[in-house]
Structure 1
Amino acid sequence: MSSQTSIFKLVELIQKIYTHGELNPFIQLVQSDSRILLYLFYHPSCHPSDISKSLNMSRPNVTANLKNLEDNEMIVRTLNAKNRREIYVTLTAKGMQEFNNRMSKIIGLFQDWLKLLGEEETEHLIRILEISSDMNNIGEAFKKYVTSEGKESW
């Protein structure tokens, strides 16, 4: 199979998976509010600036997402009594429940997927994802491609 044929096949398969909704729980997990819930699960009582740095999100984006999460009673923001400019963000019981619900869906999705693939194909998939997750290499390859094609930006 040629490289171009493989690329078109990959695009076709990804569109098919997306269209059928199989990835909806995964897509929900990578959205900003879910990423923040996940971060807060592992880093209770942290500063918004920590969230911004760790998740590579702009501060205004973090602030907007925190407001939404606070409006939905999933987090609380607490001022430091000694330094009122310092804010701590913490998950509420409702936020923890929402996090657990989202993670349960993801775990179920992956368990079904891994059962379907079997052990050998699962190891192969993990290896592919490990290679693909090195965005520095992918980013550099993409920059070289764009530069070699004479395209300045997308």
Structure 2
Amino acid sequence: MPTNETLIEELVHQMNQQQLFRHSFRVPHGSRGRFRAIMSLYYGGEQIQPSELGQIMNVSTPRITAILNKLEEEDLIIRKIATEDRRKIFVSLSKKGKEVVARKLKQQREYVEQLVERVEQSDLEAYIRVLKAMEELNVEEVE
């Protein structure tokens, strides 16, 4: 039987994967697209190519370019040219971007902690299973 801590962590992760926080937790003065991008960068790893990020977010190349330009203007991301192949560009969260994500995750965690207090553990476990199934289905659709 998972602990409350495990349930909370899993719920925050799965709810972010399904973008269930998109209306409540936004980048300051930001759009949902920018919030999705910084959360995708956070969950996607240290560095990612813009094209990969666009695929993860299921947005066009011009749209991901516009999102990244705005995030760079806000000092939330860093673009780096690959040393081994100067045609490749990698994007990562800046220090400020990581701080924004940390604040948002803290807010999300507080929300989920309240949820865990109000809902039976078996219901939460079932909800996590449903969210995981939805994530798997979304991955299959992209492939």
Range 39-48 or range 88-97, more displaced? 39-48
Aligned with 1:62 (options 54, 61, 64):
64
Task: State the distance in 2 between where 1:60 and 1:43 align.
Answer: 22
State the TM-score, normalizing by the size of structure 2: 0.65
Q: Which has the higher helix share?
A: 1
* Structure 1: runs of 5+ lacking an equivalent: 1-22, 140-154
Structure 1 residue 24 corresponds to structure 2 residue 1: no
Structure 1 residue 53 corresponds to structure 2 residue 51: no
Identity %: 23
Q: 1:133 to 1:46 in 2, by over 3 A?
A: closer
Structure 1 residue 34 corresponds to structure 2 residue 41: no
Task: State the distance in 1 between where 2:48 and 2:99 align.
Answer: 19
* Higher Rg of the two aligned structures: 1
**Partner of 2:101 in structure 1?**
99
Q: 1:105 to 1:81 in 2, by over 3 A?
A: same
Per-residue CA deviation, residues 82-130 of structure 1 (Å, 9 max, x unaligned), is 5443211121100000011111111111111121112133234334445
* Structure 2: runs of 5+ lacking an equivalent: 1-22
State the TM-score, normalizing by the size of structure 1: 0.61
**Partner of 2:128 in structure 1?**
126
**Partner of 2:17 in structure 1?**
none
Task: State the distance in 2 between where 1:128 and 1:91 align.
Answer: 30
Which residues of 2 match residues 109-124 of structure 1 at below 5 A?
A: 109-124=111-126
Task: State the distance in 1 between where 2:133 and 2:92 align.
Answer: 34
**SS of equivalent residue, structure 2 residue 41:** helix
**Counterpart AA for 2:24:** N
Q: 1:129 to 1:85 in 2, by over 3 A?
A: closer
Q: 1:105 to 1:84 in 2, by over 3 A?
A: same
**Counterpart AA for 2:35:** S
Higher RCO, Cα 8 Å, sep 6+: 2
Per-residue CA deviation, residues 57-78 of structure 1 (Å, 9 max, x unaligned), is 2111111110111011011112
